[in-house]
Structure 1
């Protein structure tokens, strides 16, 4: 097998969310830390899509920013094409690496400069990386990129407010494709869009992946979207991966109780009559996470070991899962 394009080992990110120094002194409060990402390990092969799913606040977007270098890790490493990401970004090869990875942000209404025309927005990466200079060649390239995502050349003279949400996200995709990247991080790119528009944007992304051999990290809380675009699925809970499996395997035979609850929350359109366990309770306060397995307060299979010992990610029949109940054969 060829070397994966992305390799993540024991990745962690901790944020200091303490009150100001004077408040801590007067109120005698200690420092407070949030472990937004806590020990993730995974890899993404070239031309494939890994989707990360989980409830809001589980650390998905933090992972996205770590993988493109917007955040530095507190622990662990990210390798891109066999080279350490942090070391490369701190060297003379940083700009070349930036061209090879891009990010599509969640909110198409906030990620585009409202004062710029579309041609300025899409042309910015080309000018920033010195790929083209201002002139007819740049305009032709912008027109080509807009055509790639289903927009017309005339749209380059418009401003973002003149477009719908789906059209704005297409502009974001065109901007991300400008440097001809190999790796795209998609941070919930369709969550702000209507369902019919979501399908159009997702189909564009799938077509682009096939034609350009793109590698995706796709972040979403919508399992229907994940089922459509992913090859592998990683389920996150409170900063940790609890299950990682091929898409077909995960949807057909989910192992972790949290994965089962997420799948049971999907409306049963076919009215199959199968038993369903809706997601119970709420995500604990990340400032004070539970001991042992962080899911145990909501888990119907938890026992004393789950309350005291953190489960390790182990591989069982081709699926990586972190659950004592699964590893002991209790479910």
Structure 2
């Protein structure tokens, strides 16, 4: 099966230096943050890859790089065999934008409060010339609202008249307007209550089944990931440290950081297994540790871990970046 999305050695560096005059007066060098640093993965058509990790690990930057909101500092994103960055500069760029859409994290900030729902959802339809007149737009918006569990009459309302969960459904309807094949979901349920989260996730699962959608799902919540993902990538300080099928990752986590994240999930079934809470703090991305970025927090770290950066290598069908796993120490 060929992958719909292929990401190779993707990197994004941000210049976070102080203004030039301040640097001259205070004799400070320029400062850079390597938000994403050499990430590679593939997503098969109709599948969901979830990226998880603590805040600031680069998950959302990956999402924005994939849909073209950021330009990569290095590496390539290929969508259906096309290099997206090269394609965005050509006339085919619009067609590519139509095929990949994004659902943002905050349903309160991502909808224009001055527009009716009709205009919010119809905008991409008009932009891509997919409706000829207002009647056609209303017809299509009504269908999209029904597909996410809202009533066609809701198109005459404004965003402030809806709850958070309903707003996120409107965001999903807007993303689906152009009939995309690939949706990048940047923590789409993190601003919602748990009961509403489940409703939105179920809608997304149903839509995936009906329309054969491919998802990149960004989250820091492993319980959510367990519900939606086929494959899980664990990120730490801009790099992928483990990439595995969901069941393998939850049953046999290999990387010490993945184990730490899973141990932090409340044990609802009271199995009595020993649990270690997440230790230490995420290092400052302006001054990351040498070698393996996780070594200051890792119980298995040795001298090699603090000096040599591990590569993402394949072990028994999963990919892990860990010297301890490679040497058979864990």
Bin of the TM-score, shorter chain as denominator length: over 0.9
1:30 counterpart residue number: 29
Aligned mates of 2:328, 2:16 — CA distance in 1: 39
Aligned mates of 2:133, 2:263 — CA distance in 1: 53
Matched, 1:107 2:106: yes
Aligned mates of 2:147, 2:88 — CA distance in 1: 30
Residues 285-322 of structure 1: per-residue CA shift (max 9 Å, x gap): 00000000000000000000000000011000001000
Aligned mates of 2:160, 2:134 — CA distance in 1: 26
Aligned mates of 1:135, 1:263 — CA distance in 2: 50
1:203 counterpart residue number: 202
Equivalenced residue count is: 330
* 3-state SS of 1:51 partner: strand
* 3-state SS of 2:95 partner: helix
Q: How does 1:224-263 map to 2 (within 5 A)?
A: 224-263=223-262
2:178 counterpart residue number: 179
Q: How does 1:148-227 map to 2 (within 5 A)?
A: 148-227=147-226
Residues 244-278 of structure 1: per-residue CA shift (max 9 Å, x gap): 00000000000000000000000011111111111
Aligned mates of 1:153, 1:223 — CA distance in 2: 34
Residues 175-214 of structure 1: per-residue CA shift (max 9 Å, x gap): 0000000000000000000000000000000000000000
Aligned mates of 1:22, 1:124 — CA distance in 2: 43
1:277 counterpart residue number: 276
Aligned mates of 2:281, 2:317 — CA distance in 1: 30
2:137 counterpart residue number: 138
* 3-state SS of 1:293 partner: coil
1:135 CA displacement:
2.0
* 3-state SS of 2:285 partner: coil
**TM-score, with length taken from structure 1:** 0.99
1:134 CA displacement:
2.9
* 3-state SS of 1:77 partner: strand
Aligned mates of 1:11, 1:256 — CA distance in 2: 21
Q: How does 1:23-172 map to 2 (within 5 A)?
A: 23-172=22-171
1:133 CA displacement:
2.8
> Runs of 5+ in structure 1 lacking a partner?
none
1:139 CA displacement:
0.5
